[in-house]
């Protein structure tokens, strides 16, 4: 993609942008790495979701602002083939 913006004219802005990008990547990496501390809780939640759906019950999602957008993404991911594949994998597990 071609741009009319000459980066050389804004070296301070470029440096600041690079620092912000690097900081954002580092923060996201910390969050992702911390998820290993919650594997049991994640598995418990996944099991509950599968059990709820397998028994014909509903999962209600709601939110306000950004949380509403997250709820919509989760809802529409439910109809996504990737979600169905994951659900089938968990369905093979013995769920009590």
Which portions of the chain are predicted below pLDDT 70?
1-11, 78-96
Secondary structure (H, E, C), the chain: CCCCCCHHHCHHHHHHHHHHHHHHHHHHHHHHHHHHHHHHHHHHHHHHHHHHHHCCCCCCCCCCCHHHHHHHHHHHHHCCHHHHHHHHHHHCCCCC
- Is pTM beyond 0.75? Reply is no
Please give the pLDDT value at position 96: 45
Rounded-to-integer distance, Cα 66 and Cα 11, Å: 33
């Amino acid at each position: 993609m071609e741009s009319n913006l000459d980066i050389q004219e804004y070296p301070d802005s470029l440096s600041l942008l690079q620092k912000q990008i690097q900081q954002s990547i580092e923060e996201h990496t910390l969050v992702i790495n911390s998820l290993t501390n919650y594997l049991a809780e994640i598995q418990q939640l996944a099991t509950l979701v599968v059990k709820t759906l397998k028994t014909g019950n509903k999962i209600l999602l709601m939110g306000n602002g950004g949380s509403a957008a997250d709820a919509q993404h989760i809802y529409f991911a439910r109809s996504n083939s990737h979600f169905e594949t994951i659900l089938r994998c968990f369905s093979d597990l013995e769920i009590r």
